[in-house]
Amino acid sequence: MKTQSESGWPDADSWAGLSEISVSESMSDNMLPLRPQPVIRVKKTRPRAILPRYIHPGDSGFDLFFGADRSVTIFAGKHQRLPTGLVFELPAGHEVQIRSKSGRAAKEGLFVLNSPGTVDEGYRGEICVILANFGSVAVQNEPGDKIAQGVLVPVVRAEIEEVAEIAPSTSRGTGGMGSTGIR
């Protein structure tokens, strides 16, 4: 007979017989419950829009695609706002961070200019990505191209409190902006 502690895990006396527990029994009796998977509700606002998608199992970021109906060139040293053709409804207490695609950054010099960009929970406009070309040649973006990745992140809101004094100095003090050197 299997016994459990108050936490739901088997008591020490039960570990000897644990291998005899079936998979379905161990899943229902001996595992902590998983949190429900958050859902991002997405509305297409342009005919060429592509729903975001995770490419590989375990990816933290989902790909965002260029949703316009014509190509756009971003010249070297310039930036451009590219529409996805999507509107998000995010789960309560979350944001989406918009980040660069590493392959496009390494091969073409394209970066999300305000990286990470923030899509707030209450925003209901079209998701656009500001891409900057830090490369040396112009880059053509075609409808359907991967332009960025989004990562759903829980948000912690702080209470902002004005004070007359801040706690005494730390070992870091006011050092910033490269104060620790390069090496």
Q: Please give the model's pTM, rounded to 2 decimal places.
A: 0.76
With contact defined as beta carbons under 8 Å apart, do 100 and 90 qualify? no
Place of tokens 């995010």: 90
With contact defined as beta carbons under 8 Å apart, do 152 and 120 qualify? no
Strand partners, 94: 154
Report the alpha-carbon distance of residue 8 to residue 5 in Å, rounded: 6
- The conformational region for residue 77 under phi > 0 = left, psi -120 to 50 = alpha, else beta, is left
Tens digits of per-residue pLDDT, 8-62? 444 445 444 443 333 344 344 555 556 789 999 999 999 999 999 999 999 999 9
> Listing from the earlier edge strand, what are the strands of the sheet with 94-99?
62-65, 146-154, 94-99, 117-119
Tens digits of per-residue pLDDT, 117-130? 999 999 999 999 99
Number of H helices, E strands in the chain: 2, 10
Domain ranges of the chain: 1-34, 41-154
Q: What is the mean pLDDT of residues 64-84?
A: 98
41-154 — its CATH code? 2.70.40.10
- Per-residue DSSP letter, 179: T
Place of tokens 């509305």: 43
Tens digits of per-residue pLDDT, 86-136? 999 999 999 999 999 999 999 999 999 999 999 999 999 999 999 999 999
With contact defined as beta carbons under 8 Å apart, do 4 and 18 qualify? no
Report the alpha-carbon distance of residue 180 to residue 173 in Å, rounded: 12
Q: Which two tokens stand for residue 52?
A: 């975001």
